[in-house]
Chains A and B, each alone.
Chain A
Amino acid sequence: MSLPVRDRGRSVLPIPVPRWLTETGTEADVVLSTRYRLARNLSAYPFPGRASEKDRKRVAAILMDAMSRTKGCWARQGALRVFEKERLTEATLLQLLEWRYASREWYRSAVMEQNAHRWLVIAPDNDVSLLVNEEDHLRMQAILPGLQVESVHWQLAELERALSEVVPFASSPDIGFLTASLGNAGTALRVSVLLHLPGLAALGKRSETLDAAWNVGCSVRGLYGEGTAGTGELFQISNAASWGVTPLQIITRVESAVHYLIAAERSARRSGFGSVQGKQSLMASVSEAIRQIFREDAIPRRLLPLVSVLRLAISEGILAGDLAKANQWIALAGVVADSTAIQRDNERYEAIRRTAALRQELRLLLDGKAGA
């Protein structure tokens, strides 16, 4: 979904829509996306949080040069989309965050700091993005639609290997790859799967089920902020440890926790919404959610739980529409559910813009091929 954006006259590259918002992968009823992230640093320079402007500039130059020299190893040939923070409008920065090319850390510091030499590169496949001068010198990530843990691993592993031949990354025999935070050191790998678990929540079984993921060494957090109200029942399952385990062990650990949660969520949905009474109850929730979205005083932080209901309804066949589109709504509403994402003076503007975009989408859906 493309939104009109407020521009301050600075020209920017168009941002490609990522595949996790245009396609559905496997297990799409429950899983929105799989993200694979590697952190790397150059040994000769202080980490970004400690580096001088001159150091950051030099690091950015080295990494940008390395990327251009390894273009043959990228999954798909084509031009790299390069975004330099200093040339971006706030609206573009927020769009990069909404589509998860940028991390919250990169976005926040990009908004707050000047001359930080933060760069963001989007690969030709639109799956891979590289953040320069985030918490670490380089964060590489790939996000694929649905559950695709192994594919996402191979997609990034080749690129990382090619880059490491051009740029020696900081590592030690005892630790592995060295990162600014000890929590990332070692493999410096974080595999995160984004799950939609409204069925478990409705059944009151969310806590005990997520506990099981924890018990097999995964951490659980809301993608769009913590707490029960604001999450929209969207949870990220990630590996808790990144040291002392191989990437393949991490993948297996996360995958097994996710498969368990998918089965539990499907069972909960059957139990909650499988009966005639359950379907009627869900239809009533959908009607109420749509009413709320069309109310004049729609509040941005309340959009996510409403959109969450719509996504569930599409998944359960109660509402016409496709899940990739529902994922776009989640991204649209999710980025403003996190109170730290938007500056206070922009809050009203973002509320109006996002609510209007969502209403337009819903009008098309309800007028054209209404299933509610």
Chain B
Amino acid sequence: MIQDGCTRCGQRSNELPLHVLTIFHAQTERMCLDCVRPLLPVGFDLVAFAESLLVTAAPGESPSFDLLPDAQSCEQCGLTFGAFRATGLLGCAGCYRMFSAVIGQAMELLHGVGAPPQI
């Protein structure tokens, strides 16, 4: 999990997800949602943005959350974790079990921390 607070305000609130944001293609900062919002253009798609978190960290770079080894693959469809990070797309229903260690965190980033499951 992310341990550090927001680089702008130091906030470590459990209520707000912390996002790693690459601003203007140059600088990577860890920021809380409150600090990120004023920096983004209106019309910015938060879901697409959060999905992009999966692909901003290149192999070997500091990831936004605990990652699995890139070579780890799904037993059902063969998709590697590295391929998932590169495209942001899972290969099958089995990938959810295989990459469950990461998927819980990613879902929190995408949809909000502590969201209870609903069907």
Q: A residues near B, CB below 8 A?
A: 41, 43, 45-47, 49-50, 135, 170-183, 185-187, 206-208, 210-211, 214, 219-222, 226, 235, 240-246
Q: Mark B71-104, 1 if CB is under 8 A from A, else 0.
A: 0000011010000000111111100110010011
* B48 close to chain A: CB less than 8 A: yes
Contact B117 A182 (CB under 8 A): no
Known: A43-B93, A175-B117, A176-B118. A182 touches B43 (CB 8 A): no
Complex-state Cα separation, A85 to B102, whole angstroms: 36
Interface residues on B, range: 35 or more
Complex-state Cα separation, A41 to B97, whole angstroms: 15
Q: Which of A41, A182, A214 contacts B107 (CB 8 A)?
A: A182
Contact B111 A241 (CB under 8 A): yes
Contact B45 A181 (CB under 8 A): no
Contact B90 A47 (CB under 8 A): yes
Contact A243 B119 (CB under 8 A): no
Contact B42 A47 (CB under 8 A): no
Contact A245 B89 (CB under 8 A): no
B109 to chain A, nearest CB (A): 9
Query: Which residues of chain A are near B119, meaning CB under 8 Å?
Result: 171, 176-177, 187
Query: Which residues of chain B are near A176, meaning CB under 8 Å?
Result: 117-119
Contact A50 B107 (CB under 8 A): no
Among A170, A171, A182, A214, the one with the most B-chain Cβ atoms within 10 Å of its Cβ is A182
Query: Which residues of chain A are near B77, meaning CB under 8 Å?
Result: 46, 50
- A–B Cβ pairs within 8 angstroms, 17 of them: A46-B91, A49-B87, A173-B117, A174-B104, A176-B117, A176-B119, A177-B119, A181-B89, A183-B48, A206-B42, A219-B44, A219-B46, A219-B48, A241-B112, A243-B110, A244-B111, A246-B118
B50 to chain A, nearest CB (A): 7
A307 to chain B, nearest CB (A): 20
Q: Which of B46, B89, B104 contacts A240 (CB 8 A)?
A: B46
Complex-state Cα separation, A226 to B44, whole angstroms: 9
Nearest A residue to B47 by beta-carbon distance? Answer: A183
Query: Which residues of chain A are near B16, meaning CB under 8 Å?
Result: none
* B1 close to chain A: CB less than 8 A: no
Complex-state Cα separation, A74 to B93, whole angstroms: 28
Contact A214 B37 (CB under 8 A): yes
Given contacts A45-B92, A176-B118, 14 further A-B contacts (CB under 8 A): A46-B77, A47-B91, A135-B89, A174-B100, A176-B119, A183-B48, A186-B107, A186-B118, A210-B43, A211-B42, A214-B42, A220-B43, A235-B43, A243-B110
Complex-state Cα separation, A43 to B91, whole angstroms: 11
Among A43, A177, A235, A244, the one with the most B-chain Cβ atoms within 10 Å of its Cβ is A244
Query: Which residues of chain A are near B42, meaning CB under 8 Å?
Result: 206-208, 210-211, 214, 220
Nearest A residue to B109 by beta-carbon distance? Answer: A182
A207 to chain B, nearest CB (A): 4
Q: Which of A207, A220, A240, A244 contacts B117 (CB 8 A)?
A: A244
Complex-state Cα separation, A161 to B87, whole angstroms: 31
Query: Which residues of chain A are near B46, meaning CB under 8 Å?
Result: 214, 219, 240
Q: Which of B43, B47, B88, B92 contacts A47 (CB 8 A)?
A: B92
